[in-house]
Amino acid sequence: MKQDYFTRLALAARWRMPPGEAKELLADYREILEENPRTEEELLRELGKPWTAVRLAADSGAYRRWLAVFAVLSLCLLLPALCTLLPGVWWLFSGAFPHISLEIVLLTAGLALSLAYFQRQGRDPLPVLLPVLLGLLIALCAGVNWWVWRILPGLPLAADRLGPTAKIAYELLGLAASLSGIFGLTAARVYNRRWRALYVLSLAVGVLTCAVLLMLGSMDMEAGVIQWDRYFYRFLGIAAIGLAGTGVALC
């Protein structure tokens, strides 16, 4: 029973406090609980709920800074995923900044901030599940692109259904990337900083998806034919930055 309380206390501490402080608090509580073992009910009564116990002990300024970082990183991740779902966001990407590639700005900002914020704290072993999820995400991204560009044109669909079907496939890919990115971000805070690699790869997949949707939704009739190489190099650049960033985040 005590383990349950301590597990919740550990989760709360790792979410709310910087890693060093969380480790210190958990060591202190372990010592206090070893001196005077108690049941779960006694712990709740005498120490309070784990989240409350951590809130009382945590430095609120550091927690606010983390929330700000979390909000910025989430925004970098979610904006590309929402680009076709909300008209205002589509306008941000396609017309608001004609000389700036907003998706590249978001990729760079998210990558730089995530690498800078989650600093090394002693030895962080590579989580077993992380390479599996990274591989699955890469496979999903490759699979969706293969299906849209190789399989979909051969399906017996009316010509006017091809575009919307491809759009839905990319929207679902963007949604999956957002969910895995948020999971990676949370796990990087709570468990191990190496989980930031999942955030970085998800961000790159989300941004790549957004870039493809922007090309598909472009009203420039020449864009897809004459300027194809420009789009191709942009997609290649995003993929290269994403994979390189994932590699750095794994270190």
Partner 1 sequence: MLKRDLIVLCLLRLLKGADRYGYELMRPLREAFPDTKESAVYALLRQLCREGYTEQYQGSASGGPVRKYYRLTDTGGERYAALLEEWRRLRGTLALLGIE
CB 192 within 8 A of CB 125: yes
CA–CA distance, 26 with 42 (Å, rounded to integer): 18
Q: How many CB atoms are closer than 10 A to CB 240?
A: 11
- Positions in 65-124 near partner 1 (CB under 8 A): none
Asked if 47 interacts with partner 1 (CB under 8 A), we say yes
Asked if 25 interacts with partner 1 (CB under 8 A), we say yes
Window of 50-58, 99-107, 139-147, 161-169 that interacts with partner 1 by CB under 8 A: 50-58
Structure tokens of 144?
Answer: 């969706």
Structure tokens of 157?
Answer: 């669909």
Q: Which residue's CB is nearer to partner 1, number 54 or number 173?
A: 54
- Positions in 212-231 near partner 1 (CB under 8 A): none
**Residues ≥6 apart with Cβ < 8 Å to 108:** 241
Asked if 36 interacts with partner 1 (CB under 8 A), we say yes
One residue of 4, 7, 59, 248 binding partner 1 per CB under 8 A: 59
The backbone region for 41, taken as left when phi is positive above 0, alpha when psi lies in -120 to 50, beta otherwise, is alpha
Q: Which residue's CB is nearer to partner 1, number 11 or number 175?
A: 11
Q: Which residue's CB is nearer to partner 1, number 45 or number 161?
A: 45
One residue of 1, 39, 48, 139 binding partner 1 per CB under 8 A: 48
Output the smallest distance, CB 166 to partner 1, in A: 54
Q: What is the DSSP string of 147-207?
A: IIIIIGGGSS--HHHHHHHHHHHHHHHHHHHHHHHHHHHHHHHHT-GGGHHHHHHHHHHHH
Output the smallest distance, CB 82 to partner 1, in A: 39
Residues that bind partner 1 (CB under 8 A): 25, 27-29, 31-32, 35-36, 46-48, 52-53, 56-57, 59
